[in-house]
Structure 1
Amino acid sequence: MEPRALLQQMFEAAVASACPEECIRRHLPSPPAGKTVVIGAGKASAAMARAFEDAWPAEIDAGLVVTRYGYQVPCRRIEIVQAAHPVPDAAGCAAAARMLEMVAGLAPEDLVVALISGGGSALLPLPLPGITLAQKQQLSRKLLDSGASISEINCVRRHLSAIKGGRLAAACHPARVVTLAISDVPGDSPVDIASGPTVADLTTCADALAIVRRFGIPLPAHVLEALASGTGESVKPGDPRLCEEDYRLVATPQKALEAAAQVAAGHGVAAHILSDRIEGEAREVAKVMAGIALQVAGRGEPFATPCVLLSGGETTVTVRGNGRGGRNVEFLLALGIALNGAAGIHALAADTDGVDGREEIAGAFLAPDSLQRGWQSGLNPKLTLDDNDGHGFFQTLGDSLVTGPTFTNVNDFRALLVTGET
């Protein structure tokens, strides 16, 4: 099979493995004696809601989930609200407030099903009292451009939120809470998936304040005071309001990589999963991956060719140029520079939600001749990378991967195909 087609088929298998229709029905809780209330947030939450409705054997008394604009899926009983991501907006703020109202006053015999997926942090932006949405928006932009990891970003978000960091589950007490989650974070830590609205949080306001200072993020005095004083402290382990919480991971990045590996094996290509939790600056990760691929291509170590090197996780981009960022295209452009046209190495890097950074583009393809074609198109690859404009580079070549909404999110997908050709 042609390299590009094989890479795309692997990506599609990875996305399909996290399809809510397939994974929700396997993790349904038992129906309650009382009410069933469905809430949720994330890029996959609307599709999860539809899958839950189709599989749930009892009545749904109320429901509200918030998803990204364009990711809505029609439901019969669960209301779908659309809001902005990655920089939040008033629609998400209002939906979060309504969600808290919806779960208030429930009884022990009631059940709350929380459908949580990546993107939920931005889609549930309800701030602590005294902090405005505009201030949360400005903070989001600064965090996204800072180079901070997703764990660091979400730590700050949790401690300035009225709903994240276990607060949503606490509001459901004394009802039983069952969370069905699709992981989009390295290591699948529940507290980092959508900033953990239904789980206890070990991190503290002091941790969040240290992150803000480490990355030099300016905050208004009263926002800093919320962190310094501990006003924004999240719900901690042992809190009795979370005693009826049940957390179930229904799809993960590792399962997605395993699905892609099966596709490769079906075409006679050995697949090697390097890690599902790679973090760090995208361009630095690319240099390491290039070194491994070149060792495989040139010496047959540590793997024989043909093979594909698979990885997931969430890299970061510290935006210093005028480009549009996007960690997957930044990774690919840096990878291409490091490979310098090496024969027989092809790659795909894309976000499984269909959005790389702030662009409606999932990622891109890299071929041995990509840099040469870039030069022929008037592009200087290194200067383009310095400008953080990977999207511009691959769009010019016609090598962008555009999927539209995938209605799921298990984070980044990277595949380096080493054919052994010279």
Structure 2
Amino acid sequence: MVTRYGYGAPCHTIRVMEAAHPVPDAAGLAAAQALKSAVSGLGPDDLVIALICGGGSSLLPDPPEGLTLTDLQELNAALLESGAPISVMNAIRKRFSGINGGRLAELAGGARICNLIVSDVPGDDPGAVASGPTVPGRPAAAEVAALIEARGLALPQACMDHLRQQPEDGAAPHPDVTTRIIASAAQSLEAAACRASAEGVTPWVLSDRIEGEAREVALVHAALARQAATAGTPYPAPVVLLSGGETTVTLRHRGKGGRNSAFQLSLALALEGEPWFHALAADTDGIDGSEDNAGAWVDGTTAARIRAAGLDPLQSLQRDDSYSALKAVNGLFMTGPTGTNVNDFRAILIGTPRG
């Protein structure tokens, strides 16, 4: 088992390895080699049970011939700062790995493979979760080159050179693979909706696959929340607006804060002064990007309280420093490791406006 630092747990028979996330390190390199060794020499009479959740793209770096760990670190850093959706990032990562894109399954010598997947990707494509180490299929080099060009991504020169020189895969083995999604964002929203109904609050589930710039997605949520509060459509208050998926933040400055913190600060500004809403946005694994919070709480007073604490909330958002602004008003949501990862969870509780 491979997980991020601080997320390991004592096990009697399972070896637990820890490595860096979201930018890989040498411990991840060793973990990838350990997994490759574990499946080598297996045959048709063997069964591999693969428990996969998000994060494996970074936790299992395995640079192909001609590339180094440093190259993969620079690649991951560039992708994380690009604002590209996770599906695009993981499609690209598959071309720079000796383990992802089904390659680990191909190394298993014809062994039967059972994938049990906790999905953290919009749409629940099993091959996109952790870049699919045991799920057959990967894009051709030409497809990846087209993705990079279409989005204007600035990736390390060594990686681009490798991609141009990379021959297309030959006919890959067809391993015996069974795949099941055992947890997902849709299931988390369904559970939240059931709980809201039990409390007498109408649930309004938008989607489990929302993507886009966090601050812009927040503005859409703010508009829908205001519509429900003031016009009672599509549901009258009290109502809770629920959504999931994975937003992104295109980094322009070196502030602190992940996508959920950025979403919340943008929402707090858009609905400043409104007494009828309270909101939570968090990454279900307990870590919002690279910080120590899962996400944040905001309400109609958050922006004013940030100013009272001596910070400008709009400037903090523009400088990609939502973490510092929300920390100043005790707005950070801290859970520690949760033991799961079905991506982002957002809930906006909408009451009836006074007056």
Deviations 1:366-412 (CA, angstroms, capped at 9, x unpaired)? 11111111111111111110001111111000011000111110000
Which TM-score applies when normalising by structure 2?
0.96
Find the aligned partners of 1:283 and 1:384 in 2 and give their Cα distance: 12
In structure 1, the residue matched to 2:154 is 217
Deviation at 1:204, TM superposition (A): 2.1
Deviations 1:170-194 (CA, angstroms, capped at 9, x unpaired)? 1113110001110001000011100
Q: Is it true that 1:207 corresponds to 2:143 in the alignment?
A: yes
Question: Which of 214, 221, 234 does residue 282 from structure 1 map onto?
Answer: 214
Find the aligned partners of 2:111 and 2:136 in 1 and give their Cα distance: 16
In structure 2, the residue matched to 1:295 is 227
Q: Is it true that 1:145 corresponds to 2:81 in the alignment?
A: yes
Find the aligned partners of 2:238 and 2:353 in 1 and give their Cα distance: 9
Contact 1:201-1:234 within 8 A present in 2 as well: no
In structure 2, the residue matched to 1:250 is 182
After superposing the two structures, state which structure 1 stretch, 208-217 or 350-359, moved more.
208-217
RMSD: 1.4
Contact 1:319-1:325 within 8 A present in 2 as well: no
In structure 1, the residue matched to 2:283 is 351
What's the secondary structure of 1:407's corresponding residue? coil
Contact 1:155-1:207 within 8 A present in 2 as well: no
Unpaired stretches in structure 1, ≥5 consecutive residues: 1-64
Question: Which of 88, 91, 101 does residue 24 from structure 2 map onto?
Answer: 88
Letter in 2 for 1:273: V
Find the aligned partners of 1:102 and 1:113 in 2 and give their Cα distance: 12
Q: How does 1:186-197 map to 2 (within 5 A)?
A: 186-197=122-133
In structure 1, the residue matched to 2:325 is 393
In structure 1, the residue matched to 2:316 is 384
Deviation at 1:235, TM superposition (A): 8.5
Deviation at 1:240, TM superposition (A): 3.8
Find the aligned partners of 2:191 and 2:99 in 1 and give their Cα distance: 34
Contact 2:31-2:60 within 8 A present in 1 as well: yes
Deviations 1:197-226 (CA, angstroms, capped at 9, x unpaired)? 1112252222322333333313224x2233
Find the aligned partners of 2:155 and 2:44 in 1 and give their Cα distance: 43
Q: How does 1:91-130 map to 2 (within 5 A)?
A: 91-130=27-66
Find the aligned partners of 1:192 and 1:199 in 2 and give their Cα distance: 9
Which TM-score applies when normalising by structure 1?
0.81
Q: How does 1:298-377 map to 2 (within 5 A)?
A: 298-377=230-309
Contact 1:165-1:234 within 8 A present in 2 as well: no
Contact 1:146-1:215 within 8 A present in 2 as well: no
Letter in 1 for 2:217: V
Find the aligned partners of 1:245 and 1:287 in 2 and give their Cα distance: 42
Deviation at 1:230, TM superposition (A): 3.6
Contact 1:167-1:234 within 8 A present in 2 as well: no
Change (3 A) 1:378 1:235: farther
Contact 2:284-2:338 within 8 A present in 1 as well: yes
Deviation at 1:341, TM superposition (A): 2.0
Q: Percent identity?
A: 49
What's the secondary structure of 2:304's corresponding residue? helix
Q: How many residues align?
A: 353
Letter in 1 for 2:46: D
Deviations 1:44-78 (CA, angstroms, capped at 9, x unpaired)? xxxxxxxxxxxxxxxxxxxxx11111111111111
What's the secondary structure of 1:409's corresponding residue? coil
Q: Is it true that 1:415 corresponds to 2:347 in the alignment?
A: yes
In structure 2, the residue matched to 1:241 is 174
Contact 1:118-1:194 within 8 A present in 2 as well: yes
Contact 1:277-1:313 within 8 A present in 2 as well: yes
Letter in 1 for 2:21: H
Letter in 1 for 2:227: Q
In structure 1, the residue matched to 2:338 is 406
Deviation at 1:107, TM superposition (A): 1.8
Letter in 2 for 1:181: I
After superposing the two structures, state which structure 1 stretch, 94-103 or 352-361, moved more.
94-103
Deviation at 1:102, TM superposition (A): 1.4
Find the aligned partners of 2:307 and 2:169 in 1 and give their Cα distance: 51
Change (3 A) 1:234 1:249: farther
In structure 2, the residue matched to 1:184 is 120
What's the secondary structure of 2:96's corresponding residue? coil
In structure 2, the residue matched to 1:266 is 198
Question: Which of 79, 82, 90 does residue 15 from structure 2 map onto?
Answer: 79
Deviations 1:68-91 (CA, angstroms, capped at 9, x unpaired)? 111111111111000000000011
